[in-house]
Amino acid sequence: MPRTGRPTDDPKTLNTRIRFSEGDVQKLDYCCKVLGLTKAEVIRQGIEEMYQKAQKQK
């Protein structure tokens, strides 16, 4: 079966599972709605922001 979707230089092959509170889910959904992003995109941007913050503290 041929692969579907667009080719990418950064394939997303790993999965992780996260437990959220109801408040966390509401905040995530709000961000997705207002910013027009997927949940994965919002989470990735949050990780990048925290990574940059951590790098500055080094």
Residue 45 lies in a domain: yes
Residue 15 lies in a domain: no
What is the rounded distance in angstroms from the CA atom of residue 7 to the CA atom of residue 5? 7
**CA triplet 12, 49, 5: central angle to 5 degrees?**
20
Residue 50 lies in a domain: yes
Indicate the number of domains in the chain.
1
Q: How would you write the pLDDT of the chain (58 residues) with one tens digit per residue?
A: 666 777 888 888 999 999 999 999 999 999 999 999 999 999 999 999 999 999 999 7
Its domain, for residue 30, covers 22-57
* Reported pTM: 0.81
